[in-house]
Amino acid sequence: MVEITEIPVDGYECVKRAIDPASGLHAYISVHSTVLGPALGGMRLWPYSSEQDALTDVLRLSRGMTYKAACAGLDLGGGKSVIIGDPSMKSEAFFEAMGEFVESFGGSYITAEDVNTKVEDMGIVARKSSHVVGLAGKSGNPSPKTAWGVFLGLKATLEEVFGSDSVAGKVVAIEGAGSVGSIYADYIAKEGGKILVADIRPESAERVATATGGEVVSPDAIRSVECDVYAPCALGGSINDETIPQLKCKAICGAANNQLLEDRHGDQLRDLGIRYAPDYVVNAAGLINVFDEMMPGGYNEERALRNMDKIRANMRAIFAISNEEGISTAAAADRFAERRMAEAQQTNA
């Protein structure tokens, strides 16, 4: 029997904790907002050192999903689930209990794979809940779509900085030659851009450099290398007090989540004249892709790609807000999302 308890949190629609002694499940689900639609967000499995850490993370991540969906123009709210533990705890009973937990939201929360959970795990969750997306045979691997969306964001960023969206001759320094970074590099190279690439796994960086005719740079040097665009495609927090003074780029556009260590780092970039493409705006194509599964008639790749095109227009709108209101692009993105939510609230009232 899964014990589910609601935890009231100011500013959040519904936060619950689940404990299932039989399977060892200890998890939280947070629905931050359903103003625009049901709250979609992945199911993360992580060895949090305390309950408080898990709760803090699920609140932060679910709020982030609200803003990401709102900016992407999707009729979706923001939610997230986190499970305390590591992949060795996985069992069928564990994910079936999680399915019951997801189902207890009656559709206001929709889940998907995330860090340390896989498509197969979601198949088990789906035995107990119909509110699961990204299952096998549907919208597929999100990484190529995410890379395409970041590339569209890059085009809008180049247009803002150089007055032309042409990638030809531009030098892009990619940190992280993983699933997204490697494909992003391909798109850039195909249009004549020059790739500098770093990865803590040297063979991954070599592979991308060879495929794109680019050059490998050490992970220690990638943030201070002379380039047009720095593209964080590894972990979050790479834009911080230590790295900002080292940057020699004109713009930042990459896939990694939570690139700014703190909000104030967005203001510092603005003061330095470095144009930052907010991460959650340009890396939303995976979300746009999986959302398409929920459309009448099911997943349609052409329609999903058309919706991803909006990333360019959204970036233009965010640069315009930033320029007109004299605020950072990160703050402008939040404002863009909040305006859309306020309009929806007025319409619903």
Active site residue 80: yes
In degrees to the nearest 10, what's the CA dihedral of 340, 240, 187, 303? -20
| Contact status: 74 vs ligand NAD (CB under 6 A) | no
* Stretch of 104-112, 124-132, 193-201, 305-313 contacting ligand NAD, by CB under 6 A: 193-201
CA 302 distance to own-chain centroid: 21
| Contact status: 193 vs ligand NAD (CB under 6 A) | no
Nearer to ligand NAD, 121 or 175 (CB): 175
Q: What one-character-per-residue DSSP string does 44-97 give?
A: EEE--SSHHHHHHHHHHHHHHHHHHHHHHT-S-EEEEEEEES-GGG--HHHHHH
Please state the closest distance from residue 233 (CB atom) to ligand NAD, in A: 5
> Given the DSSP bridges, would you call strands 43-46 and 171-175 parallel, antiparallel or unpaired?
unpaired
What b/e readout covers 190-209, taking b as 16+ CB neighbours within 10 angstroms? Answer: eeebbbbbbbeeeebbebbb
| Contact status: 179 vs ligand NAD (CB under 6 A) | yes
Nearer to ligand NAD, 132 or 290 (CB): 290
Task: State the binding string over 130-159 for ligand NAD (x if CB under 6 A, else -).
Answer: ------------xx--x-------------
Residue list 236-255, contact with ligand NAD (CB under 6 A): 236, 255
* Stretch of 12-20, 36-44, 195-203, 324-332 contacting ligand NAD, by CB under 6 A: 195-203
**Are 122 and 139 spatial neighbours (Cβ–Cβ below 8 Å)?**
no
Interface with ligand NAD (CB under 6 A), residue from 71, 72, 256, 330: 256
Whole-number Å distance between alpha carbons of 96 and 172: 44
| Contact status: 114 vs ligand NAD (CB under 6 A) | no
Nearer to ligand NAD, 20 or 113 (CB): 113
| Contact status: 180 vs ligand NAD (CB under 6 A) | yes
β partners of residue 15: 30
| Contact status: 69 vs ligand NAD (CB under 6 A) | no
Nearer to ligand NAD, 25 or 304 (CB): 304
**Are 77 and 40 spatial neighbours (Cβ–Cβ below 8 Å)?**
yes
**Are 102 and 129 spatial neighbours (Cβ–Cβ below 8 Å)?**
yes
β partners of residue 276: 252
Give the sheet arrangement for strand 171-175, strand by strand.
Answer: 215-216, 194-198, 171-175, 229-232, 251-252, 275-276
* Stretch of 49-57, 231-239, 261-269, 302-310 contacting ligand NAD, by CB under 6 A: 231-239
| Contact status: 219 vs ligand NAD (CB under 6 A) | yes
Interface with ligand NAD (CB under 6 A), residue from 234, 277, 281, 321: 234
Whole-number Å distance between alpha carbons of 317 and 297: 31
Nearer to ligand NAD, 26 or 80 (CB): 80
**Are 336 and 178 spatial neighbours (Cβ–Cβ below 8 Å)?**
no
Chain residues binding ligand NAD by CB under 6 A are 142-143, 146, 175-181, 198-201, 204, 219, 233-236, 255-257, 283, 286
Which active-site residues does the annotation give? 80
